[in-house]
Amino acid sequence: MKYSFCSIFSYIFILLFSFSCALTSSSTRENFLRCFSQNSSNTSTIFEIVYTPNDPSYFSRLNFSIQNPRFSSPFTPKPQVIITPFHVSHVQVAVYCSRKHKMHLIVRSGGHDYEGLSYTSEIPFVILDLNNLRSINIDVERSTACVESGATLGEVYYNIAKKSGNLGFPAGICPTVGVGGHFSGGGYGAMLRKYGLAADNIIDAKIVNVDGRILDRKSMGEDLFWAIRGGGGASFGVVISWKIKLVPVPSTVTVFNVQRILAQDGTQLVHRWQEVAHKFHENLFVRLILQAISLDGGKKTIQVTFNSMFLGDVDSLLMLMQKSFPELGLVKEDCTQMSWIESTLFFNGFPRGQSLEVLLDRATETRSFKAKSDFVKEPIPVEGLEGIWERLYKEVGKGMLIVTPYGGKMDEISESNIPFPHRKGNIYQIQYLIFWDAKENVTESQKHISWIRRLYSYMTPYVSKSPREAYLNYRDLDIGTNNNKGKRSVAEASIWGKKYFKNNFDKLVLVKTMVDPTNFFKNQQSISPCVSRSKKSGHY
């Protein structure tokens, strides 16, 4: 084989360049580690909280909470250091030393970010993993709780239920989701029509800011406190803990899962659901799970699951359903009465009688996935639904839509109350999902991703427009990033920013400019400051 002078020269250049990069990054890392150890007050614990790739437990630490194996392949960039603070002072030192030694710091609470932004990055980075900061204190008398960001939703629910059978919290359905990302991105579950989002029910927070100072609501000021309740914590600092307002729940709630296929009027029922579900009594939450299944004999159909919780007893539920949605034909035998805490197990598919301790389990089986979101303002016509069915048939058992009704409390809260703007006027939200085995090769994975992108494109006429709204906690880098083609474009950031935040995006930029003008806290979809963009803000 012959090599041209040019190709040999390029090869040598690349080798030298990679070598010098490796040297730079390893010396930066050593400086960072020295700084961290010199500035940490309790040096005896340092060995327990710092992990570098040389440590035997580095990979188990890294992979421990990764929810999307799409971002844990050998080709995914890995952190130079993982820090798992035991104390808030470790967070302060990590911020100080990362700034000093120009290390990119990213924060991980529960590791559920859909695009892996809490555990991977395109530039060399340190993960600050808050897993050890997970205390939960419930004050039943005042109906409040103080929750550290590293706790999971399951732990929050479990601890509330241990103290009271008549208090709950309106956050997400999956128990392994972390409080830090979930609360700071909005966070909703089966009580959103009654009480709004998790972020609507936060009354105070503690954050470590870019200067390493610990601020509470009073000292951070109302603008920053506004921003971290739905604007995403990653742009503004490290949120250590939250004070939340607990909400009343009745001693008995009623749940049901009713399934219909197309031969059982599935399409008509979905069509009717679109007209009524956002107008139901706010105690009633009926969401849809739509997927293609194969029947005996190989024929395909669409399975519609009406997945529901009612804050009350079965007789009141049946009366309401008879009045508001008789077409479903709900009967007593479809329903189960239980406590609110048991309903959190029901939504996760656990059998009746399952011990509540399962809510404390962080280990889950994971599959690679890609998701996207939409908001709908008018019912989709039957032909439109049939087009969705056709597309679901192409990914039987892998593709699905989870459709969440709005209305109730969501209509009462103004669009600018917190950064999450998707309120009155939305009748429901769609989450599109496609799952596949992590072992599938890149070509297969790309096929699944293309499928969901085509479905999203098909949905354009039926969903919100100008902007086409999206939910931050269902992170989707397809809608834009800060570093597209290596350049950061303000115009582009405002495109994805408006999708997530509508007009609140401009205020988020102002808050960011005020609290982090040099853009220390950043990722591929973080808010950038509106000044000093060119020089100080680094790679994104």
Binding residues (CB under 6 A) for ligand FDA: these are: 67, 106-114, 117-118, 130, 149, 172-174, 177-178, 180-182, 184-189, 233-234, 238-239, 473, 523
If the CB atoms of residues 326 and 538 are measured against ligand FDA, the closer one turns out to be 538
Shortest Å, Cβ 156 to ligand FDA: 12
Name the nearest CA neighbour of 523 among 491, 493, 485: 493
Under 8 Å between Cβ of 454 and 391: yes
Residue identified by tokens 């269902």 is: 474
Under 8 Å between Cβ of 212 and 93: yes
Shortest Å, Cβ 78 to ligand FDA: 16
Distance CA 509, CA 270 (A): 39
For residue 318, CA distances in Å to 311, 312, 347 come to 12, 10, 20
Shortest Å, Cβ 400 to ligand FDA: 13
Under 8 Å between Cβ of 369 and 436: yes
Q: Phi, psi at residue 435, to the nearest 5°?
A: -115, 150
Distance CA 523, CA 118 (A): 9
Distance CA 162, CA 418 (A): 30
Task: Verify whether residue 432 is a known catalytic residue.
Answer: no
DSSP for 297-330 reads TS-EEEEEEEEEEESS-HHHHHHHHHHH-GGG--
Shortest Å, Cβ 121 to ligand FDA: 10
If the CB atoms of residues 91 and 302 are measured against ligand FDA, the closer one turns out to be 91
For residue 33, CA distances in Å to 26, 52, 85, 103 come to 10, 10, 14, 11
Residue 41's SS3 state is coil
Shortest Å, Cβ 110 to ligand FDA: 2
Distance CA 114, CA 119 (A): 11
Under 8 Å between Cβ of 135 and 145: no
Q: CB-based burial of residue 220 (10 Å sphere; 0-12 exposed, 13-18 middle, 19+ buried)?
A: buried
Cβ neighbours around 476 below 10 Å, total: 22
Distance CA 132, CA 475 (A): 25
Marked catalytic residue, from 195, 474, 500, 540 = 474
Shortest Å, Cβ 477 to ligand FDA: 12
Distance CA 488, CA 326 (A): 53
Shortest Å, Cβ 223 to ligand FDA: 17
If the CB atoms of residues 195 and 314 are measured against ligand FDA, the closer one turns out to be 195
If the CB atoms of residues 170 and 312 are measured against ligand FDA, the closer one turns out to be 170
Q: Phi, psi at residue 291, to the nearest 5°?
A: -155, 160
Shortest Å, Cβ 385 to ligand FDA: 24
Shortest Å, Cβ 347 to ligand FDA: 8
If the CB atoms of residues 129 and 395 are measured against ligand FDA, the closer one turns out to be 129
At 340, the amino acid letter reads: W
DSSP for 409-466 reads HHHHS-TTSSS----TT--EEEEEEEEE-TTS-HHHHHHHHHHHHHHHHHTGGGS--S
If the CB atoms of residues 110 and 124 are measured against ligand FDA, the closer one turns out to be 110
Q: Which residues are catalytic?
A: 474
